[in-house]
């Protein structure tokens, strides 16, 4: 008995990277102030979702560190305060954080993320 194995094309065989994020990130360029145990740092939010954001800061953070974050929208509406966030990755002056302490009623965060179903833009 001859056994024949199926041959997969290169396209069919490619593995896709899995993105562990729960929400898609929206590219932004928003001013931010970060607070940790050692004080304050200014920077920029590069991308944001209801669950986290990417930061570029004037001081380096550490993976696993906890911070508070104030994000200032470009349209001068109310600032968004994230009372607790965890640094998940750090690369040079950039870091990725996961929001842990955000009020579900924080409509400004949803507006920043461009979620019209939660709060119309």
Both tokens assigned to 5? 């194995």
Query: Could you tell me if residue 95 is inside a domain?
Result: yes
> What's the total number of domains in the chain?
1
Phi and psi of 49, rounded to 5°?
A: -145, 170
CATH number at residue 43: 2.40.10.220
Terminal CA-to-CA distance of the chain, rounded, Å? Answer: 66
Q: Which distant-in-sequence residues (6+ apart) come within 8 Å of 63 by Cβ? A: 87, 88, 89, 90
Query: Could you tell me if residue 30 is inside a domain?
Result: yes
User: Using CA of residue 103, residue 20, residue 95, residue 86, what is the dihedral sign?
Assistant: positive
Residue-by-residue pLDDT tens, the chain, 121 positions: 565 555 555 444 444 344 454 567 788 899 999 999 999 999 999 999 888 999 999 889 999 999 999 999 887 777 888 989 999 999 989 999 999 977 655 667 777 777 544 433 3
Domain that holds residue 36: 26-112
Give the distance from CA 37 to its chain's centroid: 21
């Amino acid at each position: 008995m001859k056994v024949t194995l199926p041959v997969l094309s290169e396209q069919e065989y490619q593995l896709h990277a899995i993105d562990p994020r729960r929400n898609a990130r929206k590219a932004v360029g928003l001013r931010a102030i970060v607070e940790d145990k050692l004080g304050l740092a200014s920077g920029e939010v590069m991308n944001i979702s209801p669950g986290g954001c990417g930061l570029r800061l004037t001081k380096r953070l550490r993976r696993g560190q906890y911070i508070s974050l104030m994000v200032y929208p470009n349209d001068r509406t109310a600032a968004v305060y994230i009372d607790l966030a965890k640094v998940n990755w750090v690369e040079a002056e950039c870091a990725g954080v996961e929001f842990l302490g955000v009020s579900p009623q924080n409509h400004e965060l949803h507006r920043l993320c461009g979620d019209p179903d939660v709060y119309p833009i």
